[in-house]
Structure 1
Amino acid sequence: MSKYQAYSEYKDSGEEWLGMVPKNWDVIQIKHLSTVRRGASPRPIDDTKYFDDSGEYAWTRIADVTASDVYLTKAPQRLSALGSSLSVKLEPGSLFLSIAGSVGKPCITRIKACIHDGFVYFPELKIPSKFLFYVFAGEQAYKGLGKFGTQLNLNTDTVGGIKIGCTENRQLQQIVNFLDHETAKIDTLIEKQQQLIKLLKEKRQAVISHAVTKGLNPDAPIKDSGVEWLGEVPEHWVVAQLKFNTLEMQTGPFGSQLHAEDYVVDGIPLINPAHMIDGKIIPDQRVTVDNETHERLKRHKLSQGEIIFARRGELGRCAIVTKNEEDWLCGTGSLKAKLNARLIPKYSYLLITSDGVISELSLESKGSTMDNLNTETLGRVRLPVPPVTEQNAILKYVATVSGKYKSLISNAEAAIGLMKERRTALISAAVTGKIDVRGFQIESSNTSMEATA
């Protein structure tokens, strides 16, 4: 923050999170700036009689606020007149704060909204609401509040007892103007980095998909694969249904084979779709069985080199079984396949997670409300099968390319992390008076800004 000047004189606020504040600032509890009230919910909260698409007020959930950085601009449901009468209604421009879930997350609504009892709001705020928003957005207000830092839920007394630094509203609004302008610049840079990451991931996937479906030799003779999504492939490649390149396909246990009471903690893991993350198997020690159940379900044991698939939901989601996961069990929501020697597991994984195969799986899948994969559907999927030597060469190339893209993506992610840290630090410095922005003004060119004493 060396770019910005400090106030000429400071005093001890007596609050750990505030530290030293400008001499002419007051240190005031939030409850003396506004009453702090809690939202309210109709009960039971999910009863359909409380919802009506024609309702005037939107129903706000913790998830809606978590997804919003500053403003609530839409909500998925609207409350009926009955539901609205049992809820707290906020008008556009109102500040509210999450006290459950994403504890301490502030938000300002731009729509007419109803909030439940997981939020508190400030109906009579004597200072600019956006200033108090930034107090919470800076995150430092939570320090020194034992309850705030250690328990999941807050209450109106805890929030009302938070002490903040205050000065006249004109100067507080100047701080808000400064932070609006400066954080917008940082947010723009963050968005550009996020777009870059998205493009890098798309480019990496495109390069990988081209390699595994077209090979590495652009001059190789080609032929029509007979598969719409695949197009032309090298002439010497075989195009075959997956079932002709597997030794076995097996769905996980279902029905009476496995009951809820069979689950134990810290036993032998069952692998369901939620445990397949980026091609790796991440077990949940709460989704396990004991040795007796494991032996009873031994036909569902996993072996090194097998591929385990999600049977429902996100088709194409799969993972390679390594030695570490041997003898774990294929879960109810999964399907496993043992490949023959013509297909290398890592190469198969790259093919199966490509957009083309996922599209074909979706078309072939069964289920009226969601995609549902079975051994027959999976077995019908047509894949290009190069010679094993070429598969190895392609995997080596993909590893090199992926490494380069991974490095670029990591750099962009690190840059985002630094910018977010700077954003938080800037907000904290401004709302606690560590920097003096009284002379801030947006230059006419609207391209730069300086903060002076």
Structure 2
Amino acid sequence: MTTEPVLLQDVAEAQNGEAQSTENLPNGWRVVSLEKIAKFNIGRTPARNEVRYWSEGIYNWVSIADMRELMIITNTKERVSEEANKQVFRGKLIQPGTLLMSFKLTIGRTSVLGIEAFHNEAIVSFELSENIDRDYLMFYLSQLDYSDHQDRAVKGNTLNKDKIAQLPISLPPLAEQRAIAAALRAAQAAVQARRRTIELVRERKAALMQALFTRGTRGEPTELTEIGEVPQGWEIYRLRDVLGEGFIQTGPFGSQLHASDYQPSGIPVVNPTHLRFNYIDESELPFIDKSLANTLSKHYLQKGDILISRRGDFSRYSFVGDKYVGWFCGTGCLLIRVKNLAVDNFFLSVSIGTELSQKYLKNNSVGSIMPNLNTQILFELPLLLPPLAEQREIAEALQACDAVIAALEQEAALHEELFRALLEELMTGRVRVVSPGALVEP
């Protein structure tokens, strides 16, 4: 495909005939409609009730869940069969290196295929003109403002086929496209390097946890118990035995707290989606008004609380440290509040992530479709506790790991912020790349 880009103001369909100004763009740049630089294909989902399309799946099938922003897709959660290939997709496999973009619900997420695959109807794949750099377009589409282009559909926001075609693309010459893409890839690599370091530290922390919970900190001999080999002097309890004056309670019911109550600022709400392996992901927290929170005041978080997801993945849990005091326990969480001078609450939170606790939670959960917890199940959660002094030693060692992770997270967030700022500056031409790695103001 060798279609030459055409100025958007020359396209009759563009924005009801109104010309889009290029006066703020550098010389040599132009604004084109997406349909003039790419052909695009919308995918399909084989009928779910047709077992023959999904059993013995051998072909990768991409959904939005498989797409990580600005990343290469190397595997998919679902696969379709040879029958689906023949009857639904007619053998038209999308090839590695193809740019994909989501345009329903999650609009504007871009990824590149690293494998042969089909994709669903919420994703569009592009066949690009020879004078378009794929990665430049990927970065550009990831930051485009879609608010003026999307429609409201039954299941949420979407772009229709015509509006995808008319998306305006600011386009520099090919050499500059490539230089911009190279600069952004370098900035993106710095972010990814920090993320990989964080994952490595988390793995080391998990290995340390395993060692501490099986061998202790003092070289004491071990003994065989009903739960396996444990250090002598450690005791097996149930959570109900160590609550002291504390309690376990569910988060607010859906009838008490609605998604429509969320707002851009106020009291942060921690839902299961924000819980990780004993930490809270703060990147997309919702907020509620303080007056509403006060009507549900028993759900305010206190230092030492432990939150855990009530359904699904029970490795989603977190200790509540100083930073999160006064935040709010969201719907779908269970809150554990321990008030016992013989128990270190951080150690207790770490215990929830051990194989012993996680195996119990999975085996004793209820629900036929999705595993669920309730307060009674948590009351009977088995815990392995050493003397208080040793609890604190283990807690301090693991908190030191968390401090390193927190510092790395902050560094990664800063690099992400710098990447986003650079993306905006380069895509508007306010900063120019005259050669790979060389940035200048116009």
Report the TM-score, using the length of structure 1 for normalisation: 0.60
Q: Say yes or no: does 1:349 pair with 2:349.
A: yes
Q: CA deviation at 1:133?
A: 1.6
Query: 1:314 aligns to what SS in structure 2?
Result: coil
Q: CA deviation at 1:203?
A: 1.8
State how 1:190-205 maps to structure 2 within 5 Å: 193-205=194-206
1:340 corresponds to: 340
CA contact (8 A) 1:74 1:111 kept: no
Q: CA deviation at 1:381?
A: 0.5
Q: Amino acid of the residue matched to residue 118 of structure 2?
A: A
Q: Say yes or no: does 1:19 pair with 2:21.
A: no
1:283-324 deviation digits (Å, cap 9, x = unpaired): 8557999799969xx8x9988755444343222544456898
Q: CA deviation at 1:384?
A: 1.6
1:92 corresponds to: 95
2:5 corresponds to: none
* Closer/same/farther in 2, CA of residues 89 and 117 from structure 1, 3 Å limit: farther
Distance in 1 between residues matched to 2:413 and 2:223, nearest whole Å: 44
Q: Say yes or no: does 1:103 pair with 2:108.
A: yes
Distance in 1 between residues matched to 2:165 and 2:186, nearest whole Å: 36
Q: Percent identity?
A: 15
Pick the structure with greater CA Rg: 1
CA contact (8 A) 2:70 2:111 kept: no
* Closer/same/farther in 2, CA of residues 288 and 319 from structure 1, 3 Å limit: farther
Distance in 1 between residues matched to 2:222 and 2:343, nearest whole Å: 21
Q: CA deviation at 1:153?
A: 5.1
Distance in 2 between residues matched to 1:281 and 1:106, nearest whole Å: 23
Q: Say yes or no: does 1:62 pair with 2:57.
A: no
2:169 pairs with one of 153, 162, 172: 162
CA contact (8 A) 1:310 1:334 kept: yes
* Closer/same/farther in 2, CA of residues 107 and 202 from structure 1, 3 Å limit: closer
1:245 pairs with one of 232, 242, 246: 242
Distance in 2 between residues matched to 1:71 and 1:373, nearest whole Å: 34
State how 1:11-50 maps to structure 2 within 5 Å: 15=22, 19-21=26-28, 27=30, 29-30=32-33, 33-34=36-37, 36-37=39-40, 39=42, 48-49=49-50
2:121 corresponds to: 116
Q: Say yes or no: does 1:127 pair with 2:135.
A: no
Distance in 1 between residues matched to 2:327 and 2:130, nearest whole Å: 63
* Closer/same/farther in 2, CA of residues 378 and 111 from structure 1, 3 Å limit: same
Distance in 2 between residues matched to 1:260 and 1:63, nearest whole Å: 25
* Closer/same/farther in 2, CA of residues 353 and 419 from structure 1, 3 Å limit: same
* Closer/same/farther in 2, CA of residues 20 and 50 from structure 1, 3 Å limit: farther
* Closer/same/farther in 2, CA of residues 366 and 179 from structure 1, 3 Å limit: same
State how 1:29-428 maps to structure 2 within 5 Å: 29-30=32-33, 33-34=36-37, 36-37=39-40, 39=42, 48-49=49-50, 52-53=53-54, 59-66=61-68, 69-70=71-72, 74=76, 76-78=78-80, 79=84, 83-84=88-89, 91-92=94-95, 95-100=99-104, 101-103=106-108, 105=110, 107=112, 110-111=115-116, 113-114=118-119, 116=121, 118-119=123-124, 121-122=126-127, 125-127=128-130, 131-139=132-140, 147=148, 155-159=163-167, 161-166=168-173, 193-208=194-209, 210-211=211-212, 215-218=216-219, 221-224=220-223, 226=225, 228=227, 231-233=230-232, 235=233, 237-247=234-244, 252=249, 261-263=255-257, 265=261, 273-274=272-273, 276=275, 278-279=278-279, 307-320=306-319, 334=334, 336=336, 338-365=338-365, 370-374=370-374, 375-376=376-377, 378-387=379-388, 389-404=389-404, 406-407=406-407, 410-411=410-411, 413=412, 417=416
Q: Amino acid of the residue matched to residue 359 of structure 1?
A: K
* Closer/same/farther in 2, CA of residues 426 and 203 from structure 1, 3 Å limit: farther
CA contact (8 A) 1:95 1:109 kept: no
1:205-237 deviation digits (Å, cap 9, x = unpaired): 43355556655444xx4442625455224x4x4
* Closer/same/farther in 2, CA of residues 47 and 20 from structure 1, 3 Å limit: same
Query: 2:205 aligns to what SS in structure 1?
Result: helix
Distance in 1 between residues matched to 2:407 and 2:301, nearest whole Å: 33
Distance in 1 between residues matched to 2:307 and 2:218, nearest whole Å: 31
Distance in 2 between residues matched to 1:91 and 1:17, nearest whole Å: 37
Q: Amino acid of the residue matched to residue 136 of structure 2?
A: V
CA contact (8 A) 1:200 1:405 kept: yes
Q: Amino acid of the residue matched to residue 29 of structure 1?
A: V
CA contact (8 A) 1:209 1:350 kept: no
Q: Amino acid of the residue matched to residue 340 of structure 2?
A: N
Q: Amino acid of the residue matched to residue 244 of structure 1?
A: D
* Closer/same/farther in 2, CA of residues 50 and 148 from structure 1, 3 Å limit: farther
Distance in 1 between residues matched to 2:130 and 2:197, nearest whole Å: 39
Structure of greater relative contact order (alpha carbons < 8 Å, 6+ residues apart): 1
Q: Amino acid of the residue matched to residue 116 of structure 1?
A: E
Distance in 1 between residues matched to 2:416 and 2:328, nearest whole Å: 37
Report the TM-score, using the length of structure 2 for normalisation: 0.61
* Closer/same/farther in 2, CA of residues 92 and 426 from structure 1, 3 Å limit: farther
CA contact (8 A) 1:16 1:143 kept: no
Q: CA deviation at 1:240?
A: 3.0
CA contact (8 A) 2:253 2:331 kept: no
CA contact (8 A) 2:66 2:77 kept: yes
Gaps of 5+ in 1: 1-13, 438-448
* Closer/same/farther in 2, CA of residues 36 and 261 from structure 1, 3 Å limit: same
Q: Amino acid of the residue matched to residue 240 of structure 1?
A: Y
Q: CA deviation at 1:52?
A: 0.9
Q: CA deviation at 1:199?
A: 2.0
Gaps of 5+ in 2: 1-20
1:362-419 deviation digits (Å, cap 9, x = unpaired): 34545566544452565251312313x44445444544454345445655x3696499
CA contact (8 A) 2:60 2:75 kept: no
Query: 1:48 aligns to what SS in structure 2?
Result: coil
* Closer/same/farther in 2, CA of residues 248 and 91 from structure 1, 3 Å limit: same
